[in-house]
Amino acid sequence: MVAKVNAGMLTLGGGPLFVIAGPCVIESKSMCIEIASAMKAACGELGLPYVFKASFDKANRTSLSSFRGPGLHKGLDILAAVKGKVGVPVLTDIHEPSQAAPVAGIADVIQIPAFLCRQTDLVIAAAETRKAVNVKKAQFLAPWDMKPVIEKVQSTGNKNLILTERGSSFGYNTLVVDMRSIPLMKAFGYPVTIDGTHSVQKPGGLGTATGGDRGMVPTIVKAAVAAGADGVFLEVHPDPDKAKSDAANSLALSDAPELLASLKRIHEALAGE
């Protein structure tokens, strides 16, 4: 039995498969609204709770010259516009404790990036906002190593927590997803989601950028939902090859409805066992 998480007007976990999806980084207000509207419609037809995600700053790009996003203040303005115009909860990530309070003024879910999930001050700052916190398991941690991270969040009295699997480092420029991590992390009592698009990354694989294989996204997410994932996390883009971040592993927006329909069937079949 997993805890239910409040994300704006939605309750995540313990019910229908939930969906967190959007572009890797905020490229423009119009694109974010386009993606959020399309995903809301697709999820609405399937009865799946939907949260829009996008980063205002990609602080961990491979190259110094890579596009990072519009920054905190403009990014939050765009997220507020998406939230207001489309009517969906929004998620974004923070990289410094000082960002927690302003982000909490807009976001319904605050995300801790995988590389930073052991940063105590950052995790505590996010949890102290009392917003839902999505913590991505680091590529260098085993599933059971997330227990101390969970305890940091719980120490603030905030139990509005989601855990995300996003692959583990395996040799050079390669990630692998151990599906055992889904039930192992669910045993902590919180919803677990699978980051299907970051899991197919090839970090630094293009030399000055991260590579990936979006063709493997359906395989990863279907396997994870079959293993018991409560939700899916996807980076979607109208034209993935032209995305300013994570182009190689982002899913085409037009492909999302069919994939979500398949995932819903798997999730419901598992629930009916």
Q: 217, 232 in Cβ contact below 8 A?
A: no
Can you tell me the distance from the alpha carbon of 22 to that of 245, in angstroms, rounded to the nearest whole number?
12
Output the domain CATH number for residue 190.
Answer: 3.20.20.70
Helix and strand numbers (H, E) in the chain are 8, 15
For residue 192, the number of C-alpha atoms closer than 13 Å in the C-beta half-sphere is 26
Per-residue pLDDT band at 184 (split at 50, 70, 90): very high
Q: What is the pLDDT of residues 3-53, one digit of tens each?
A: 999 999 999 999 999 999 999 999 999 999 999 999 999 999 999 999 999
pLDDT band, very low/low/confident/very high, at 58 (cuts 50, 70, 90): confident
* Number of structural domains found in the chain: 1
Domain around 184 = 5-271
Nearest 5°: phi and psi at 207?
Answer: 90, -65
- The predicted model scores a pTM of 0.94
Residue 206: predicted pLDDT: 56
pLDDT at 208: 52
pLDDT value for 212: 65
Give pLDDT tens digits for 205-249. Answer: 555 555 567 788 999 999 999 999 999 999 999 999 998 877 778
Give 55's DSSP letter. B
